[in-house]
Amino acid sequence: MNPAPNIRETCNIPMAVLPIIIAPDPRLKACCEPVEQVNGEIVKLMDDLLASMYAARGIGLSAPQVGVCKRVIVVDTARREEEPKPLAMANPEIAWVSEEMVGLEEGCLSFPEHYAQVTRPARVGMRYLDRGNTIREIEADGLLARCLFHEMDHLDGVLFVDHLSLLRRGMILRKLVKMKKLEEADAV
């Protein structure tokens, strides 16, 4: 996903690209606290999450992935040739899900270069607080629904690999541990 060139121009708060936590890390398994209200601090977090997501070429990011244990997610599933369509949510809640299930390949910015088939509901209805602290509702299907489910899982300490078999999850986590050790050895 290309970075949104106009996202910085449209907000009054400077944006920061935050480091994304790579699994395994206990911070990714924590349940997040609700946001009391969307104030300047939370709007800045939303903007920083968007900047970090765009910089990492992702389509979704949650606050715990940058070490903030708050119920905040951002997504943008616009295609590269389209205008960015960022969506920032505080305290997102699932109102309903479809009975129809769809299995597709997923990845995660906290699991670089690892992908696996995950089955999720095809459609979702959600409520959330927007950047102006207003309650909104959204219905989503396709890639947006999948991305919302994925990011919502992060808020409850559930990772996409938790939807996989123990064998497949173990293989991915062992590879990431090995990658972290190699990076640490190179840094010394």
Q: What does the buried/exposed string (b/e) look like for 88-102 if buried means 16 or more CB atoms within 10 Å of the residue's CB?
A: bbbbbeeeebeeeee
- Give domain limits for the chain: 26-187
User: Distance between CA atoms of 107 and 150, rounded to whole angstroms?
Assistant: 9
Distance CA 62, CA 56 (A): 13
Query: Which residues belong to the active site?
Result: 151
Tokens 């270069």 map to which residue? Answer: 113
Does the pLDDT value for residue 7 go beyond 50? no
The predicted model gives 97-122 an average pLDDT of: 97
Task: Please name the fold of domain 26-187.
Answer: Peptide Deformylase (3.90.45)
pLDDT in tens, 44-68: 999 999 999 999 999 999 999 999 9
Q: What is the pTM of this model?
A: 0.90
Least confident of 3-12, 32-41, 58-67, 164-173: 3-12
CA atoms within 13 A on the CB side of 6: 6
pLDDT digits 0-9 by tens, 144-184: 999 999 999 999 999 999 999 999 999 999 999 999 898 88
CA angle 83, 55, 171 (to 5 degrees): 115
The pLDDT of residue 14: 67
